[in-house]
């Protein structure tokens, strides 16, 4: 009796272990490249599509903090980004930084006076080779077929590995329930719960409906959005005719946001 | 053998009751954290990992150090360690238990923990860390239990245990290597972006772990009738000596590279930790204390006359333990986040509930350690007929 119970428990234990290991083994059974393959979903009718979305920010048209405000406000409003009093809990998708913070590797003591005081709009760079995508242990952060680094708020376990991995400080964590701190909830976009990470999504929900990102729409032409892999696109034309800089290029992440200074 | 953990003196039960009380307080705070969110901690947008992850990192090292007993005993047939390998393995079990708990309390959404297995992601180092930590936990539970049971029954443990033992040796190295890879593969974090991080982690592990084990051996000798042995303790002391010297050496290599190359992204973190940056330097006294403790312990350990005196050895081991604890448990993680990638200096200080949860996790680990050590020492007492 003793012996058979013991044997039973042993077999049950080993089977349980085996079952839990199955999905892990399945992952290895897949071609490793498959795992990194971009998620492909058929685009909706009328949706804006691209091979790799990118943005050009013309700072010549955005000389003051006031000029940046409408873009930041509209983004945070439509995406239900809460306003926390405690700076530690702050959530931001798009915000303003000085040159020495946005481009710490380019800053020097004799930097041009205009640039030194110029407010730079910063957001997720939707990197070509994003360190956050590499770090995420659940694929809650993933690369879409159109180059957008997207997030599944419902899969995120809140380990914050992506925040450590991002060299641009583009990610925020919900240190507490954000809902009481949203002035007016936009029902067309989900609110988040405490304990998950979030960031700019290049307005992929708007692209699906054929709309440009909200910040681009509010920018009076200072922000241009388009397909980096299409030589005819407006962004490519701008990149061809203007000298642009990107943030921390030496890290090899391949940011998709360009700045005309 | 489990029944051995139930038979103890009043002092034993008192200690367990005390631990349970501390665990209770920690658990209460954890429930608070669970309902409010991680906002009750001192972590922020800029310092997004804090005390929990730092303790995790330190304890992975303590866990890995079991290999310093297993390797000499099984690979070099250094018989003296046969007496205490079980203590090392059980220390590893309790340390990994704490590591896993620290990861869980650090998660924003702990109920989604299984997503790591449901959506396995081999390109994430965290996925591998999950595998190596759990593997190491099971290896040590199974090996420790089988060997002890064999010893108790006067028979050799089953043959397959030997295979697991050999696997456990590189596995111990892997847990701390993978843990270092969590940090040192991140492009924008200059403090961690160094190939010496994994070796440095291992060196400090092989100092801190055996130092703690020496302290435990001295305690076991005092509290039970089982004597882990003078020779065993002295051999461990030599291992601690090599470990701590290597740790300081690796650290100095890092200091040279950072300050001779003068690359700001690497240098600023060091300056923040040891001198303060832009008027912020909450960790400066701690870091220098850590250096002082490590250097002082080397002086005590290198000299055979002081090392061989167990009273002095005890002091040296305390210095090693707390010196490496400050290095990894305080400086290593928040130091990597300050200054931030956008070059802001936002400091991190843990809050009271965060510390209570941390102490609660430590108490859980000590509870596991107490129960396992009680079993192990009871078996040893039985065998020696004392």
Kindly report, residue by residue over A56-104, the tens digit of the pLDDT.
999 999 999 999 999 999 999 999 999 999 999 999 999 999 999 999 9
SS3 B278: coil
SS3 A55: strand
- Between A19-28, A92-101, A141-150, B116-125, the lowest mean confidence (pLDDT) is in A19-28
What does DSSP assign to residue A190?
Answer: P
What crossing angle do the helices spanning B310-325 and B230-261 adopt, rounded to 10°?
Answer: 40
Q: CB–CB of B186 and A28 under 8 A?
A: no
Contacts of A210 (CB under 8 A, 6+ apart): A46, A47, A48
Report pLDDT digits (tens) over B287-299. Answer: 999 999 999 999 9
Give the distance from residue A188's alpha carbon to the nearest chain B alpha carbon, in angstroms.
24
Q: CB–CB of A135 and B112 under 8 A?
A: no
- C-beta of residue B243 within 8 angstroms of C-beta of residue B204: yes
B125 touches chain A (CB under 8 A): yes
- Give me the pLDDT at residue A19, please: 65
- Give me the pLDDT at residue A21, please: 65
Q: CB–CB of A167 and B344 under 8 A?
A: no
Give the closest of A27, A105, A166 to B120, CB-based.
A27
Q: CB–CB of B42 and A88 under 8 A?
A: yes
Give the closest of B37, B46, B116 to A138, CB-based.
B116
Give the closest of A35, A91, A131 to B122, CB-based.
A35
Mutation target for B interface from A25, A176, A195: give the one with most B CBs within 10 A.
A195
Give the closest of A101, A167, A194 to B37, CB-based.
A194
- Give me the pLDDT at residue A191, please: 96
Q: Which residues of A touch B38 (CB under 8 A)?
A: 158, 173, 175, 194-195
Average pLDDT over residues A198-214: 96
B106 touches chain A (CB under 8 A): yes
- Give me the pLDDT at residue A32, please: 46
Report pLDDT digits (tens) over B133-160. Answer: 999 999 999 999 999 999 999 998 999 9
SS3 A32: helix
List B residues 272-331 in contact with A (Cβ-Cβ < 8 A). Answer: none
User: Where do the structural domains in chain A lie, given as residue ranges?
Assistant: 1-30, 41-260
Q: CB–CB of A137 and B106 under 8 A?
A: no
Per-residue pLDDT band at A41 (split at 50, 70, 90): low
Query: pLDDT per position in chain B (386 positions), as tens?
Result: 888 888 889 999 999 999 999 999 999 999 999 999 999 999 999 999 999 999 999 999 999 998 999 999 999 999 999 999 999 999 999 999 999 999 999 999 999 999 999 999 999 999 999 999 999 999 999 999 999 999 999 998 999 999 999 999 999 999 999 999 999 999 999 999 999 999 999 999 999 999 999 999 999 999 999 999 999 999 999 999 999 999 999 999 999 999 999 999 999 999 999 999 999 999 999 999 999 999 999 999 999 999 999 999 999 999 999 999 999 999 999 899 999 999 999 999 999 999 999 999 999 999 999 999 999 999 999 888 76
Using H for helix, E for strand and C for coil, what is the string for A198-236? Answer: ECCCCCHHHHCCCCCCHHHHCCCCCEEEEECCCCCCHHH
Among candidates A40, A50, A72, A37, which has minimal Cα distance to A207?
Answer: A50
Q: CB-side exposure of A78: number of CA atoms within 13 Å? A: 19
Q: What is the CATH number of domain A41-260?
A: 3.30.70.20
- Give me the pLDDT at residue A45, please: 79
Q: CB–CB of B187 and A164 under 8 A?
A: no
Give the closest of B48, B109, B344 to A157, CB-based.
B109
Quickly name the fold that domain B2-384 has: Formate dehydrogenase/DMSO reductase fold (1.20.1630)
Burial class from Cβ neighbours inside 10 Å (0-12, 13-18, 19+) for residue B321 reads: buried
- Percent of chain A past pLDDT 70, that is, above it, reads 89
pLDDT averaged over chain A?
A: 90
Which residue intervals of B224-351 are DSSP H helices? Answer: 230-261, 264-274, 284-302, 304-307, 310-325, 333-337
Q: In chain B, which residue's Cα lies nearest the Cα of A36?
A: B123
């Amino acid at each position: 009796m003793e012996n058979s119970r013991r044997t039973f428990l042993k077999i049950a234990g080993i089977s349980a272990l085996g079952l839990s290991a199955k999905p892990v083994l399945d992952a290895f059974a897949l071609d490793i490249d498959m795992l990194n393959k971009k998620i492909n979903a058929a685009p909706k009718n009328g949706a804006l599509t691209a091979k790799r979305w990118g943005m050009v920010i013309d700072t010549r048209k955005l000389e003051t903090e006031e000029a940046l405000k409408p873009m930041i406000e509209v983004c945070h409003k439509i995406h239900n980004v809460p306003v926390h009093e405690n700076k530690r809990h702050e959530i931001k998708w798009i915000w303003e930084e000085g040159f020495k913070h946005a481009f710490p590797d380019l800053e020097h003591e004799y930097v041009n006076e205009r640039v030194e005081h110029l407010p730079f709009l910063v957001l997720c760079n939707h990197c070509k080779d994003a360190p956050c995508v590499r770090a995420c242990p659940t694929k809650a952060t993933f690369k879409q077929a159109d180059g957008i680094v997207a997030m599944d708020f419902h899969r995120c376990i809140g380990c914050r590995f992506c925040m450590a991995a991002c060299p641009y400080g583009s990610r925020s964590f919900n240190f507490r329930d954000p809902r009481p701190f949203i002035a007016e909830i936009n029902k067309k976009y989900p609110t988040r719960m405490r304990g998950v990470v979030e960031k700019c999504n290049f307005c992929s929900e708007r692209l699906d409906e054929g709309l440009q990102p909200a910040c681009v729409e509010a920018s009076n032409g200072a922000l241009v959005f388009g397909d980096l892999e299409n030589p005819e696109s407006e962004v490519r034309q701008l990149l061809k005719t203007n000298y642009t800089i990107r943030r921390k290029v030496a890290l090899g992440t391949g940011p998709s946001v360009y700045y005309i200074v | 053998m489990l029944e051995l953990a139930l038979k103890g003196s009043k002092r034993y039960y008192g200690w367990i009751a005390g631990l349970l009380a501390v665990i209770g307080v920690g658990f209460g705070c954890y429930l608070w954290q669970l309902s409010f969110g991680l906002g009750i901690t001192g972590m922020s947008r800029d310092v997004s990992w804090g005390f929990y992850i730092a303790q995790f990192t330190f304890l992975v090292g303590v866990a890995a150090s079991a290999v310093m007993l297993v390797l000499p005993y099984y690979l070099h047939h250094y018989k003296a360690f046969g007496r205490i390998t079980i203590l090392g393995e059980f220390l590893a079990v309790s340390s990994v238990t704490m590591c896993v708990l620290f990861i869980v309390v650090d998660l924003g959404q702990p109920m989604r923990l299984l997503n790591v297995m449901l959506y396995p992601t081999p390109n994430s180092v965290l996925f591998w860390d999950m595998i190596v930590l759990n593997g190491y936990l099971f290896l040590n539970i199974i090996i420790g239990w089988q060997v002890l049971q064999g010893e108790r029954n006067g028979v050799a443990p089953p043959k397959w245990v030997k295979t697991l033992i050999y696997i456990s040796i590189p596995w111990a190295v892997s847990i701390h290597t993978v843990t270092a890879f969590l940090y040192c593969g991140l492009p924008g974090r200059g403090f961690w972006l160094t190939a010496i991080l994994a070796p440095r982690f291992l060196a400090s592990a092989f100092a801190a772990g055996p130092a703690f084990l020496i302290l435990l051996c001295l305690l076991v000798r005092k509290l039970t009738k089982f004597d882990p042995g003078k020779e065993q303790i002295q051999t461990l002391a030599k291992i601690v000596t090599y470990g701590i010297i290597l740790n300081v050496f690796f650290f100095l290599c890092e200091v040279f590279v950072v300050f001779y190359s003068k690359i700001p992204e690497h240098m600023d973190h060091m300056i923040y930790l040891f001198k303060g940056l832009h008027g912020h330097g909450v960790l400066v006294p701690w870091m220098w204390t850590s250096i002082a403790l490590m250097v002082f312990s080397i002086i005590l350990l290198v000299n055979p006359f002081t090392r061989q005196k167990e009273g002095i050895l005890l002091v040296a081991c305390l210095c090693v333990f707390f010196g490496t604890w400050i290095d990894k448990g305080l400086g290593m993680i928040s130091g990597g986040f300050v200054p931030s990638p956008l070059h802001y200096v936002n400091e991190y200080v843990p809050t009271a509930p965060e510390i209570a949860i941390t102490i609660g996790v430590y108490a859980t680990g000590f509870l596991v350690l107490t129960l396992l050590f009680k079993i192990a020492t009871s078996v040893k007492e039985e065998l020696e007929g004392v």
